[in-house]
Structure 1
């Protein structure tokens, strides 16, 4: 067991060698290694990252989704949804980030990695709940943060800030009721007030 992490460049090269063609890209930025894998090789690549002697990423410490739908505004094209995982090797004292894109923007689906790391269970449920990404072979893919009757996926960039429905307790019915949102959508622009000599500035 080693407590000394290898250099980031060496980790990048070790991960690239272990994954081979199963990695679309292995990059190093700000001392962090990021791997982009095709969805078709996602499970195989994740198993390799867990089991390969130079990798040994025993723990999945985070998994989240990203909506890239507005990237076209800055001149970047590509699939809309990605899942990003952060893996940790306790035995080798190293970390890696793995990114995989969903092939279908209209119905984003990826295989579940719960069979590789149990810790993925609630993370994948959160990505399903908030972004609508379906994880195949997940044995309990239910919403985890929003209510059972919630409509839509609130972290998608096209989801309205006010939501679609609002809920309130009805004392006559003695239960929670759902109604269409009654708030008119509006955009607030903050007003900046600059005082004379604020902070000693003139």
Structure 2
């Protein structure tokens, strides 16, 4: 009787071992890597751009009918959608060189992961004579932007504000191209102008 019990227990143990050996071990499934975002928070940008300024009828006091130029910009996006930045640029106008320096606020909307993003921006800054203060060109600039009510008030630094929209395309998280347009309001009468920019953007 005892030997029969031992034989039964051994048989059950052998069957259990066989069943466990035949059960495949569970495999761990590795999830696919998350897609790399082309637009990110805490993003530092460096811009290099060309620009074209054009005036409407009667507004050509500052840059004439139109003017070409270029500049540099630095932006920082605190979130994926909100950023701040600064830029400086120069215009080659008839008779002198006009400079601008502005501070901007951006609202950006990436279009999924298509590479495209649209953005709106506004800012304030100054427009100034960038030629030597002792040159004849300085006098030309002052003559153009003198105050109609007070001809003696012909400062070579004028306040400006602007509002605009743009579109950007990213080839990678670190490199893209952009173009935008803005309307610039200048404190002197008949000096407003539209500015169109196009350039390259490096992001880190």
Question: In which range does the TM-score fall when normalised by the shorter chain?
Answer: under 0.3
The structure with the larger Rg is 2
Query: TM-score, normalised on structure 1?
Result: 0.24
Q: Which has the higher contact order (CA 8 A, sep 6+)?
A: 2
Greater per-residue strand proportion: 2
Query: TM-score, normalised on structure 2?
Result: 0.24
